[in-house]
Chains A and B, each alone.
Chain A
């Protein structure tokens, strides 16, 4: 069908012209992104790099202080603790969620499932809410005193949990907002990938008498590799920048030791609440380093793992 469309188009014979144009075309296609970045992205970037080397309260002149901010950062316990918090929230919120999304996508694709479209839509629904709104709701559900979660615990005779003030639980609550919002979203991404796995692969597997279990591990996962890599990288980038959930759940008195202080929250509090924009920038660059590191590790692991299965 697609080929027909191409054939139906009048064929241009002017080879020379086409040749030149095609050389430029790749650059033209990607140019908008880089132009926009040059105009809107580069200046803020350079500015925050400069800011990281100085002291600024957001109004007056920037005082150059050299690498002081970075040496302070390396010794700052709160910074390292907030990295720990972030990594915990990220891993609790990301890996089980991605795996569950993968399984849901696979299950939804099984032959005997009915109402498939309905199920897909319903599972995707959480993603269309705003983080802030949904976090307010989660805050009510998990409030320490008479939230729904504690109410249910008490109904079955279990003791209340201090969801929002215990360092362990508050991380779980923050992660759960993320799981809820992105489970269906990632499932849809995987379904997109599954849909373009050629049907004959499955048919061949069926002929060979492969179990669904084998199909999942030996066809679906290897075939989805680029998409899985995409979701892991995006979840890493997003997960390490988790902020709104933490800020809405613990709007005041959040501390690194308390568990809810993520890196971006620490950055935000330093810069926007305490007006130390220079040090805030240094934290931002610490975060960038961490994201790069995690992405590279992810990339390596995912690449080798999935190859191994193949």
Chain B
């Protein structure tokens, strides 16, 4: 019975090994007095170059950068570690910073460490979005996601629309223009203008200028949400939408093959287009029609539990400075929130995908145009409810009036 004895022996060894591994860990960082800062960020939030710069800038600190997968998983991890012993010193926060503003006390007030004077360097709405209260800044901005119109050149040509970015920008200025162009694309190019009803609704939804809650009560932005809703429904009913899923292989496929006319996309989509296998010259960039949209982009914050708030603030300030934001842009197409980075060289940026087009001016314009409003943490859940109902309209021909009614009812239950 060699089997069972072997099993016992190995089992015992394994247990010892596990325990030993545990001991080894606790013995490690005990004796050295060096300042150690753990920095959690998610895929694509900080560039490798910026990390290298920071390590070189602070040779005396031990900086442990830890890359965590993005999306909900990152948030779950961050929430679980707020106030925990094992919390990082510095963390990235995604565009859902509104969820954390009510808990500003869990974060270091960076204005205690001299960030106040930096306000003028950053895009205004983004800066304001970091303030938990007046004078209490919980994070520094990394990047933003200003939007532009990306259009399918072949489709526009067939439709008899201009194909030159300047001309497109001049022609499609408002939401009404956008819809008119959609009609032309449909009639002449026999092609839908928009990827999907949901995507169109999501774009339009981001242009509202008020929160969905007012004094803690559901207000649906005083009718603005309904405007966005109706806009998308109109396009859907006129057959301007291709109606494939926003995310996943079908949307990649549709971009690759140019199956629709145009989309409003944040700056980082330049990188996405390339990854999605789009060929140079097939899509170009113009100014986004209508109001400025997209409040995206990430932040860096120091957690209150850190033993070194001063050092953490220094590192954050450095990581979000002009130099590192440039590095992020170069490596990951993360659009700087630091306005000092918008110099002539930046404006002259080109990309092999778009030939010699200098497209950054559209994004800069959009970045400066956006107005800030603070969102109730429940707003994102309410938005999702409406988007989900829109999905049902798109996929299953649910009656729009019924869908709106259902969505409102559900939104009222969000607590």
Binding site for B on A (CB under 8 A): 5, 55, 57-60, 72, 78, 139-140, 143-147, 162, 164-167, 250-255, 257-258, 272-276, 279
Contact = CB atoms under 8 A, between A and B. Distances in A.
A252 B381 contact: no
A272 B99 contact: no
A60 B72 contact: no
A279 B76 CA distance: 17
B414 A274 contact: yes
Contact of A255 (B82, B253, B388): B388
A59 B103 contact: yes
Given A165-B396, A272-B72, A274-B384, 5 more contacts: A57-B377, A143-B249, A253-B245, A257-B392, A273-B384
B244 A144 contact: yes
B7 interface: no
B392 A258 contact: yes
A139 B198 CA distance: 20
In the A-B complex, the 4 residue pairs with the smallest Cβ-Cβ separation, listed nearest first, are: A253-B391, A274-B381, A165-B395, A58-B79
A258 B395 contact: yes
B391 A59 contact: no
B247 interface: yes
B1 A5 contact: yes
Contacts of A251: 247-248
A145 B250 contact: yes
User: Secondary structure of the B side of the interface?
Assistant: helix
Contacts of B391: 253, 255, 258
A254 B389 CA distance: 10
B415 interface: yes
Contacts of B99: 57, 59, 275
5 contacts: A144-B244, A162-B395, A165-B396, A255-B389, A257-B396
Interface of B: 1, 72, 75-76, 79, 82, 99-100, 102-103, 106, 198, 244-250, 253-254, 377, 380-381, 384, 387-389, 391-392, 395-396, 398, 410, 413-415
A254 B245 CA distance: 11
A57 B75 CA distance: 12
Contacts of B395: 162, 165-166, 258
A60 B392 contact: no
Contacts of B82: 59
A279 B410 CA distance: 14
Contacts of A279: 415
A147 B244 CA distance: 13
Nearest to A69: B415
B392 A255 contact: yes
B248 A143 contact: yes
Residue of B79, B102, B410 most packed against chain A (CB within 10 A): B79
Contacts of A275: 99, 377, 381
A258 B249 CA distance: 19
B398 A257 contact: yes
Contacts of B396: 165-167, 257-258
A135 to B, nearest CB: 12
A252 B246 contact: yes
Contacts of B253: 143, 145-146
A39 B246 CA distance: 44
Contacts of B398: 257
A273 B82 CA distance: 18
Residue of B102, B384, B389, B395 most packed against chain A (CB within 10 A): B395
Contacts of B381: 273-276
Nearest to A58: B79
Nearest to B99: A275
Given A145-B253, A145-B254, A258-B395, A253 B388 contact: yes
A147 B249 CA distance: 9
A253 B102 contact: no
A123 to B, nearest CB: 26
A255 B380 CA distance: 16
Residue of A55, A58, A59, A272 most packed against chain B (CB within 10 A): A59
Given A146-B253, A165-B395, A59 B100 contact: yes
A276 B414 contact: yes
Nearest to B243: A165
Contacts of B254: 145
Nearest to B391: A253
Contact of B413 (A60, A72, A144): A72
Contact of B387 (A139, A143, A253): A253
B246 to A, nearest CB: 6
Contacts of B75: 272
Contacts of B1: 5
A163 to B, nearest CB: 11
Nearest to A269: B384
A255 B246 CA distance: 15
Contacts of A252: 245-247
Contacts of B413: 72
A119 B328 CA distance: 52
Nearest to B388: A255
Contacts of A257: 392, 396, 398
Contact of A59 (B79, B380, B392): B79
Residue of A147, A250, A255 most packed against chain B (CB within 10 A): A255
Contacts of A254: 388
A60 B100 CA distance: 10
B386 to A, nearest CB: 11
B100 A253 contact: no
Nearest to A59: B103
A255 B99 CA distance: 23
A254 to B, nearest CB: 8
B22 to A, nearest CB: 16
A275 B244 CA distance: 28
